[in-house]
Amino acid sequence: MKTRELARQAKTASRRLATADAEVKNRALRAMADALGRRAAEILVENQGDVAEGRKKGLSGALIDRLLLDEQRLEGMAASLREIATLPDPVGQVVEGWRTPGGLQIEKVRVPFGVIAVVYEARPNVTVDAAALCLKTGNAVILRGGSDAYRSNRILAEVITGAVLEAGLPGECIQFVSSKDRGVLVDLLQMTDQIDLVIPRGGEDLKDFLLEHAKVPVIYAAGGNCHVYVDRAADLGQALQIAVNAKCQRPGVCNAAETLLVHEDVAAEFLPEVTRALQERKVKLWADARTHDLLKETDIKLLRATDKHYATEFLGLEMAIRVVQTLDEAVEHIAHYGTGHSEAIVTRDLEASRTFAERVDAAAVYINASTRFTDGGVFGLGAEIGISTQKLHARGPLALKELTSTKYVVTGRGHVR
């Protein structure tokens, strides 16, 4: 099917979906969860083909981890669908309302965007997450996944679309772009008459590509060059746990820390311990001259860091390290290299924590906690399409409310102006 026809069908389906009853949408979500279970064997066979091809291409371990599906992950996806079905439906919610002095009743009401195109890389779970969240919010969705997960995305889209039809909703509300041609993607990004919003889920390269080519509005859920700053007043036991967790718990995700900043007053005590812990977990360490000097008498293996390393989202077991003289220097480093995703300070100094929280420009700022918590489910928002690192409309987890717009409904009694 040509891309424009696919988009046109999505637009038509979106009008019906926008007024669908909440229980019908929830029934569709539960049907999608059941279908994942029934067809798990087929899905895993297709996914194994993607993984095998990815290994042949030399994809990193972190990228293979993103790509991989197994029974446990499919069960988690199904559980997420059932959880979304239990969440309040945002469509039709009255955000606020008031009566004017002249007697007009004004209500600000949540409504769907219409058609949302979600463009993502080697993350087959996004196929299900994006479709589910868009369906719940009354939006038709156009799914354009990365070529590395093509087989997985195709079978998942087929499975959930069938479930939506069973529930009595138009199957066209979930559209899968089968073409791997980037020219088709460019066409999609410019269909302002059919598509209302684009959300990319991937790294900075994908974000930049969309910002260059898109005429449709974009909310980018992009990469995370995240930092952990260990302040002079840090509890170093906490700092060790947070730094290791933020880097190693799941290194291939956007809220994993990529750079460790350490105040010079605690560097001599803290760096030997934290670098040893990271090295034991197979983390390659890129460090500045000061760190090299402090650890020159140890057996810690360090590589020389450059600007390139501080600007890199490694998405794997690599980390950059830098010793800073002040909190201000840490904040400046984050401002220069960060992507506005998630940033953490470890400190027992209330003033330092307040300064960091006020001055660091990011979607999520952590005080004495790992950056790994930036997640819609962890925040109690339910599933999310991604983490928005921009500031217009939505910032942070893109959950149900963030996938709606608003309109004003004004009621009068024959009012004229």
Per-residue pLDDT band at 5 (split at 50, 70, 90): very high
Which option is the CATH number for 226-373: 3.20.110.10, 3.40.50.1450, 1.20.1560.10, 3.40.309.10?
3.40.309.10
Write the pLDDT tens digit of every residue in 161-206.
Answer: 999 999 999 999 999 998 888 888 999 999 999 999 999 887 778 8
Write the pLDDT tens digit of every residue in 65-102.
Answer: 889 999 999 999 999 999 999 999 999 999 999 999 99
For residues 234 and 34, give the distance between their C-alpha atoms in angstroms, rounded to a whole number.
48
Helix (H) or strand (E) holding 153: helix 150-166
Percent of the chain with pLDDT over 70: 100
The pLDDT value recorded for residue 252 is: 84
Segments making up each domain of the chain, as ranges: 3-221+385-411, 226-373
For residues 52 and 65, give the distance between their C-alpha atoms in angstroms, rounded to a whole number.
12
**Are β-strands 318-324 and 342-346 bridged in parallel, bridged antiparallel, or unpaired?**
unpaired
For residues 162 and 277, give the distance between their C-alpha atoms in angstroms, rounded to a whole number.
48
As a dihedral over the C-alpha atoms of residue 381, residue 61, residue 314, residue 365, rounded to 10 degrees, the angle is: 20
Write the pLDDT tens digit of every residue in 208-223.
Answer: 888 889 999 999 876 7
Please give the CATH number for the structural domain made up of 3-221+385-411: 3.40.605.10
